[in-house]
Amino acid sequence: MITAEIVAVGTELLMGQILNTNAQFIAQRLASAGVNHFFQTVVGDNPARLTQTLSLALSRADVVIVTGGLGPTGDDLTKETAAALFNKPLQYDEESLSTLKARFEKMGREMTPNNLKQAMFPRGSIILKNDNGTAPGCILEENGKAIVLLPGPPREMQPIFEEQVLPYITQKDGGTLYSRVIRIFGVGESAVEYRLKELIERQTNPTVAPYALTGEVTLRVTARCKDATEGEALVAPILEIIQTTIGDAVYSTNNEALHEVCGKLLIGNKMTLSVAESCTGGLIASTIVSMPGSSAFFTEGVVTYANIAKQNRLNVKEETLLKYGAVSRETALEMAEGMRVSSGSDIALSVTGIAGPNGGTEEKPVGLVYIGLADQKGAEAYEFRLSGNRERIRQIASLNALDILRRRLKE
């Protein structure tokens, strides 16, 4: 079985100026793929120390995965160091050079001469395309060993690793991987792990790896297999056990986000949606319209932050606001119904709450949120008491609103 090792390059990592999230991501994916991984190292932007680090890693691993140091500046020396270690001269790759020039033209920016080094690679290396940045990665092979060079920014590194590097590693190990990602909302990570404790402890193939996102939990079920058909057959019974155990908190088994699931349900039910937001400040509407094709079901979103906006735009009664306050079940109900009527949508969501850090009282503390939903059958409101900073409260409130919508649409 192949053994991998992770090396993160960057003085900023060594000094603790940024978190080494790349190593965490790669380690999780190696574990879910069943790849042995025993060491991680962080090394600064120093060619001599990087050479020592890579030499040591190659002495105990089949594949060394390196992140960082592929940029255009003078201290980006990872590629040069790895090439020297394997005694492979650097040369231009014409396709990468053409792509690099086209990217700069599209951005309307001048490509300075130092950017040209990003189109140079060790002779004979496998080039890893980067669709999210200017620094492609590459794989160097020598005597059964391999060094994988990846860019440092996570938004660039992660798709390259997922789509190009992990298949390379598993193929070297004599197989392939088939994965399904289950997404869960409404049950915490510790509760999910506890309920699935027996399944996780006895896992062999497929493996089950939990990951926590903001407000939700994902489970990646991964099978080592010869092809996708075998992989699907191995994974299917595990998916069934998880869905049965966790219940309707499982909202996707295909790595779809909550707003995507809601969008598909709205389209399937031929229904339209509108949203009235206060404390979330348009976050729900922004999330919904990030889905391509959302114009098929999303009619309107408004931010009615002040009381007068709630009255004028949503027809919330003044006496309701005076008697119960802007953050109340009654206001949430009137916001949702007012949004539905004024927009003409089939269903409407509303959110009002106290996101903090100020504005809370003993009766109505920071984190108190009311979510309303109105459709042709009537209106309902739900109370939540959330915790965390302002941004977290807004994010969790948005997710709860979408989950309420999902559950109503499934009915």
- SS3 of 170, please? helix
pLDDT the model gives residue 103: 87
The pLDDT of residue 200 is above 90: no
Q: Residue 207's CB: how many other CB atoms inside 10 A?
A: 19
Max mean pLDDT range (69-73, 82-86, 112-116): 82-86
Q: Which of 38, 40, 36, 39 is nearest to 2 (CA)?
A: 36
258-410: same fold as 176-252? no
What is the layout of strands, in order, in the sheet containing 368-375? 298-303, 273-277, 347-353, 368-375, 378-385
Report d(CA 248, CA 400) in Å as an integer. Answer: 14
Using the predicted structure, report yes or no on whether residue 96 has a pLDDT greater than 80: yes
Confidence label for 210 from pLDDT (cuts 50, 70 and 90) = confident
Q: How far apart are CA 300 and CA 96, in angstroms?
A: 43
In which residue are the tokens 């440092």 written? 152
User: Mind giving me the DSSP string for 39-105?
Assistant: EEEEE-S-HHHHHHHHHHHHHH-SEEEEES--SSSTT--HHHHHHHHTT--EEE-HHHHHHHHHHHH
For residue 405, the model assigns a pLDDT of 98
Closest CA to 145 of 90, 213, 86: 86
Query: Given a cut of 90, is residue 175 above it in pLDDT?
Result: no
Helix or strand run (H / E) with residue 344: none
* pLDDT score for 79: 96
Does 34 score more than 90 pLDDT? no
Answer whether residue 107 shows pLDDT above 90: no
Please give the mean pLDDT across all residues of the chain: 94
* pLDDT tops 80 at residue 330: yes
Cα separation of the two ends of the chain = 48
Res 32 pLDDT > 80: no
What are the residue ranges spanned by the domains of the chain? Answer: 3-172, 176-252, 258-410
Q: What is the pLDDT of residue 184?
A: 97
Under the banding of pLDDT at 50, 70 and 90, the label for residue 88 is very high
Pairwise CA distance, residues 210 & 189, whole Å: 8
Q: Which fold has domain 176-252?
A: Alpha-Beta Plaits (3.30.70)
pTM above 0.75, yes or no: yes
pLDDT digits (tens, 9 = 90+) for 237-286: 999 999 999 999 999 999 999 999 999 999 999 999 999 999 999 999 99
What topology does CATH give the domain 3-172?
Answer: Molybdenum Cofactor Biosythetic Enzyme; Chain A (3.40.980)
Sequence-distant (6+) residues with CB within 8 A of 116 are: 92, 97, 100
How far is Cα 82 from Cα 138, in angstroms, rounded to an integer?
Answer: 11
**What would the pLDDT profile of 126-169 be if each residue is shown by its tens digit?**
999 999 999 999 999 999 999 999 999 999 999 999 999 999 99
Structure tokens at 360: 């809370």
- Residue 90: predicted pLDDT: 95
Name the residue among 26, 8, 28 with its Cα closest to residue 17: 8
Mean pLDDT of 75-87: 94
The pLDDT assigned to 171 comes to 85
Q: What is the pLDDT of residue 355?
A: 97
Lowest-pLDDT choice from 63-77, 101-115, 303-317, 357-371: 101-115
The CATH class that applies to domain 258-410 reads: alpha beta
Q: Degrees (nearest 5) of the Cα angle 76, 77, 78?
A: 105
> Token digits for 127?
């080039």
Length of the chain equals 411
The backbone region for 186, taken as left when phi is positive above 0, alpha when psi lies in -120 to 50, beta otherwise, is left
Burial class (CB in 10 A: 0-12, 13-18, 19+), 31: middle
361 residue type, one letter: T
Query: What pLDDT score does 404 carry?
Result: 98
Q: Are 4 and 169 in contact (CB under 8 A)?
A: yes
